[in-house]
Amino acid sequence: MLKRLLLLLTAALIILPSLSGCGYNQIQKNEEGVFAAWADVEATYQRRADLIPNLVETVKAYASHERETLESVTNARAKVGQVNISADTLSDPAAMQKFQAAQGQLSSAISRLLLVAERYPDLKASQNFLDLQHQLEGTENRINVARQRYNKSVQTFNSSIRTFPNSLTNKFLLHLERKEPFKAEAGAEKAPRVQF
């Protein structure tokens, strides 16, 4: 009986340290990192969406006959509000692509709005417009940084569920799917053409 108890105790001392290397907790931490990074992406996009009405109103005061451009920005912002990705759908490539397409349309509409502003010297000199433009530029930079951090978190998570021994833990216990990173927009490989 004592011999059997010593054998079980020895086996437990050998097996318990090896369980810490199964990666269960690390995989969970990595997935939480992805969710946190995604929340940062959403927050920066929300900041941009919040700035747009102020920018549109400021431009509208100076360029009321640029109605089509102003409406396209407003419509693009509304579409962005309709396309949401939750933490549960981060592994769905189609949902991620739809989200990125809506954000791309909004970016394009904002670019057109800023081009309209170039035609109005009084607007360009307006302190409100300049402040909004700087905030928007800063927000676009924040969006880029948040995307990069999200992609890094996704890479860490995806690697953790695909490498041994964590892959076994995921396969038999967790059953988590790869998360989708942000990808470049279609046509991003071509440099924009500027004409004067």
Neighbours of 143 (CB within 10 A): 20
First to last CA, the chain: 92
Distance CA 93, CA 103 (A): 15
Q: What angle do CA 89, 92, 93 make, to 5 degrees?
A: 140
Burial (CB count <10 Å: 0-12, 13-18, 19+), residue 70? buried
Q: Is 175 left (phi over 0), alpha (psi -120 to 50) or beta?
A: left
Instruction: Phi first, then psi: give them for residue 23, nearest 5 degrees.
Output: 85, 5
Q: Give the pLDDT of residue 33.
A: 95
Global pTM reads 0.73
Tens-digit pLDDT string for the chain (196 aa): 778 877 877 876 776 565 556 888 899 999 999 999 999 999 999 998 888 888 888 777 776 667 777 778 888 888 888 888 887 888 888 888 888 888 888 888 888 888 877 777 777 667 777 888 888 889 999 999 999 999 999 999 999 999 998 999 999 999 999 999 988 776 655 655 544 3
